[in-house]
Chains A and B, each alone.
Chain A
Amino acid sequence: MQEVVLDLEFIIGHYNYWLFVILMMTGLYITVSRGNLIKKVVGLNLFQTSVFMLYISMGKIEGGTAPILTGDPNTVYSNPLPHVLILTAIVVGIATTALALALVVRIGEEFGSIEEDELIEIEHELDFAEESAEASPVPGQGDANKGEPGGK
């Protein structure tokens, strides 16, 4: 790695990237620390949008204009390639968000909760019930447990 000098010019040239890293980490924090599944999806969206901003900022040229042909041969255009990549990424992102939210709805219907802590508890209970059912096979107990968590 080449020698990095932390002077004012370097900071002005790089603060954009650091700001996006801060936003990305906020998104990651929401995803990791919050128990509510909808909020986790929001955190993931935040992270994703910050990555988009990082990519777009790489394509920017100082003094450039949006990549739409002006007819003037001296025009400097910003790089259109990151824009194309991110257009695709936005649409793929909404597809994954829709899928994640559909899964959240199904989890909510099946277990009556979309909080991670409660879901882990329910999972433990189910495991425990399964084990005890295997240890002493009581007729009908397996069916009762299967229907229990939904409750509706």
Chain B
Amino acid sequence: MMTGISLAAIVNVLLFTFLVMTAIAIVRVRHLFAVAMLSGVFSLLSAGLFVALDAVDVAFTEAAVGAGISTVLMLGTMALTVTREKTTKRSPVLPVFVCVVTGAALVYSTLDMPAFGTAQAPIHEHVAPDYIARTPDDIGVPNIVTGILASYRGYDTLGETTVIFTAAVAVILLLGSFSRKKQKRTDKE
């Protein structure tokens, strides 16, 4: 058991080191194509971390959506705009200060949190055991996450679908042929 825990810890720390290196590279690189690729790498590494943390459904959603679709969207945006970032003349002192203060506040707030992996943490005491116990009889699918997502919390998923629909309509209104044609007509006038 002990070796199992330390192995998981090693994997976590290793993945995290890669994540931090990718994040720092994203800060420093100015070529936006590289930034898009690095953000895909970041998503893929986080998917690996999700597998290590037992969240397999989240891992393959993140790999498909974060590393796949959002990279494609970024490449598309770059094709329509620019591929290089310009240097700013602004001083980085204020952003660094804001990040350090926010980070310190967040770290301070984690001190009250239960230790990582404890089975007695408040998060595991309320509805979650109930869902796990009832899923086989109520829903009958072996994947508990699917059971909760589609049945117990089905309204959340409906709300999510509404959000996607709204975003899709907004994107079509912003980039669709209707607004472009109108734009061209006003340009001619």
Which residues of A pack against B, CB within 8 Å?
1-2, 4, 9-10, 12-19, 21-30, 32-36, 38-39, 41-43, 45-46, 49, 52-53, 56-69, 76-84, 86-88, 90-99, 101-106, 108-109, 114-118, 147, 150
Contact = CB atoms under 8 A, between A and B. Distances in A.
Interface in B158-174: 160, 163-164, 166-168, 170-171, 174
A79 B124 contact: yes
A80 B145 CA distance: 6
Given A57-B116, A83-B58, A104-B77, A91 B164 contact: yes
A138 B160 CA distance: 52
B102 A23 contact: no
Given A29-B27, A36-B32, A67 B110 contact: no
A13 B115 contact: yes
Contacts of A61: 54, 117-119, 124
A117 B86 CA distance: 10
Contact of B170 (A32, A45, A64, A99): A99
28 contacts: A1-B111, A4-B112, A10-B115, A13-B117, A13-B118, A17-B107, A18-B110, A21-B107, A25-B106, A28-B99, A38-B77, A38-B85, A43-B26, A52-B58, A62-B5, A68-B56, A69-B142, A69-B144, A80-B128, A81-B128, A84-B145, A84-B149, A87-B57, A91-B163, A101-B73, A108-B82, A117-B88, A147-B187
A42 to B, nearest CB: 5
B144 A35 contact: no
Contacts of B53: 53, 56-57, 59-60, 78
Given A69-B144, A84-B148, A90-B65, A106 B124 contact: no
A88 B95 contact: no
B168 to A, nearest CB: 8
A47 to B, nearest CB: 10
Interface of B: 1, 4-5, 12, 16, 19-20, 23-24, 26-27, 32, 35-36, 39, 42-43, 46, 49-50, 53-58, 61-62, 65-66, 69-70, 73-74, 76-78, 80-82, 85-86, 88-90, 92, 95-96, 98-100, 102-103, 106-107, 110-119, 121, 123-124, 127-128, 131-132, 135-136, 142-145, 148-149, 153, 156-157, 160, 163-164, 166-168, 170-171, 174-175, 183, 187
A53 to B, nearest CB: 6
